[in-house]
Chain A
Amino acid sequence: MHQPKQDDAPHVIARREFLGKIAAGSLTGAGILVLWGSLDLSLPPTIRSTHPIRLGKSSSYPLNRFTFIPASNLFLYRARHTVSALSAICPHLGCVVRKGEGGFRCPCHGSRFDEQGDLLSGPAARSLDWLRVRRAPDGQLVVLPDERVGPGEELHI
């Protein structure tokens, strides 16, 4: 029996469509890869401050006071048996706070914090961060600037 012609035709059209569709899809995919790759390239590969900050021995620091470490923008508080680190970066917009009587003060928009770093007033939305202090194998103090800890946490020495 003679097959009707229509049986052959749909397969040919479908294959052409498929080719077109897959070609278009690949173009789009390639384009997306280009865009994503460009964006990925543009994001900086190394951020400088992720490695811990070495601060020397605890005995180098004056007792019962906050000592400002300018290079790392933090305050180190050494008590007789504990050491703790308070970030000096204002949680509002990243300015560096200054120590004053009874607390800290941000010069950019006037946020104020008490001696524990707790927020007293100002546009900042939260208190200053306390950072993790560890002891390196050689006995030096090391601060991990990306690791925030609770306000009471200290390193015992």
Chain B
Amino acid sequence: MRKTPARGVQILQLSIREVWDSATRRFLRWREPRVSDRERSRAVSRSFFLHYHASRIHPFSLRPAYTLGLGLMSFFLFFILLVTGVLLMFYYVPSAERAYSSIQDITYVVTGGRFIRNMHRWAAHGMVVTVLLHMARVFYTGSYARGRSLNWVIGVSLLLLTLLLSFTGYLLPWDQLAFWAVTIGTNIVGSVREFTDMLGTTAWFDPGGFVKSFLLGGDSVGQEALIRFYLLHIVLLPFLAGVLMLVHLWRIRKDGGLSRPGDADEVVLRGRGGTPSGSGPGGEPSILAWPAALWAEAAVLMVTIAALATASFLLDAPLREIADPSAPENPAKAPWYFLGVQELVSYSAFAGGVAIPLLFFTLLLVIPFLDREKDHIGRWFSGASGRQVAGSSALFALLITVGLVGVAIRFGWLHDWIPGLPDLLNMLLNPGSCVVLAYLLFGMRTLRSTGSTRLAVISLFTSSLVGMLLFTAIGFWFRGPDWEFYWNPAQMPGP
């Protein structure tokens, strides 16, 4: 006769069975094909991670040539940076004595360390590039209009955060490159003091000194600065950026999904051959997010990782000699995304370091409010006239920038011709400000001749973009020791 199991054992057996069923059910559900729209819809809306998507999207949003996946790329790069960053944190020590050797250990000894460090570095540079390109895409397709202005503002803030994240991370290896780039960067920030000095208010109002001592924890780059940069880089800035990104993505949904042109419905219907498959509210075509959107995102993710991994496999992140505060690099160059600013700063510290960047960012922020037109959304350059304006602005920016800078370098500028010129005028009329003024005037001329705020804004944006690229290029290739200009970079004396 078989003994019946004790009550306790029975309960145990039942519990195990329940847990197993529940787990496999949940797990196996994923393996069931989602054949009905309802199931597909539920896959998205009932999942914690996926319900960020709307369950239905407009098919136009899937077109790769429209968005180029740049926003997604930026987001995925951020995610990769988080993961690789955490991995690096296993070994990195934010101490001035040990930071450099910990990076050396990561690179030389830790299994996969060199690879992960490379991925982190190239993802960081890549993210700055994709964020800038994404901003350009959003701008040129006019996707800041029609109620998307808040999202635009959030986007510009994210650009700023991305640059700051890259800048704070730049210091952490504590090598000569890092140390001096950050010294230059913080001095640029501190150059607000030049302005308050001129006004005579530095004694009681010194934002330049304030920000500089907040960043540095002292008056020069040292251990305190390293800890602050580390804190900003791994906690404060990622947290802010993450939160803003979540809001940014949520706003997309609230703003009615990705932007699209007025004739998006027709385009989609033409592409399908006339038969809609599923209707969204208001009668426009829509499809389920599962699985179309997810495949699109998966593709962008894998392309990003593949490109990043290949780059990391082939190219090593730089590591120069350990930082030596008594031996400045000559030339000491800021990270590439600040080189344009550094070039402007070499004309005038305040104008180039504070006034022009502030102007630039303010204009960026208020673009949605400058452009009062409503009907150019969703199309690149908003049509042929937009393309033309962009082209002519780019050409104008090229000519005027190269021209003025060339004159300034070859023949000198106002303060060389008129030695007694007061400091204020020197600051206001330096080559950088004159170039920016030219862009502004060209933009206003566009406004007056075409009567369209959208075209004027395209002109301003394009000329500023081209200008920044040119200044960055000058700073990168043509500036050598003592910040001297070399017409032929090959003649630059070696290090």
Contact = CB atoms under 8 A, between A and B. Distances in A.
Interface residues of B, number: 36
Contacts of A105: 482
B482 A108 contact: yes
A47 interface: yes
Contacts of B188: 93
Given A44-B217, A47-B213, A48-B219, A125 B416 contact: no
6 contacts: A93-B191, A108-B331, A109-B345, A110-B482, A123-B348, A125-B198
Interface of A: 42-44, 47-49, 70, 91-96, 105, 107-110, 121, 123, 125-126
Contacts of B328: 95-96, 107-108
Contacts of B349: 92-93, 123, 125
Nearest to A91: B194
Given A93-B187, A93-B191, A107-B328, A121 B416 contact: yes
A125 B348 contact: yes
Given A70-B326, A108-B328, A123-B348, A47 B481 contact: no
Contacts of B423: 125-126
Interface centre among B187, B347, B350 (most CB of A within 10 A): B187
B426 A125 contact: yes
B427 interface: yes
Given A70-B326, A123-B346, A123-B348, A94 B190 contact: yes
B218 A48 contact: yes
Nearest to A105: B482
Contacts of B350: 125
A123 B423 CA distance: 11
Contacts of B416: 121
A43 to B, nearest CB: 6
A106 to B, nearest CB: 8
Contacts of B348: 123, 125
B220 to A, nearest CB: 8
Contacts of A91: 194
B482 A44 contact: no
Contacts of B214: 42-43
B331 A47 contact: no
Contacts, number: 66
Interface string B346-357: 111110000000
Interface in B307-340: 326, 328, 330-332
B354 to A, nearest CB: 12
A93 B481 contact: no
Contact of B481 (A42, A49, A107): A107
B431 to A, nearest CB: 10
A108 B210 CA distance: 24
B484 interface: yes
A47 B349 CA distance: 24
Contacts of A47: 213, 218-219
Contact of B482 (A70, A92, A109, A121): A109
B108 interface: no
B224 interface: yes
A125 B184 contact: no
Q: Closest 3 interchain pairs by CB?
A: A93-B187, A109-B483, A44-B217
Contacts of B213: 43-44, 47
Interface centre among B198, B217, B347, B423 (most CB of A within 10 A): B217
A95 B426 CA distance: 21
A94 B354 CA distance: 16
A89 to B, nearest CB: 10
A107 to B, nearest CB: 5
A145 to B, nearest CB: 10
B194 A125 contact: yes
B346 A44 contact: no
Given A44-B217, A47-B213, A48-B219, A108 B332 contact: yes
Nearest to A49: B219
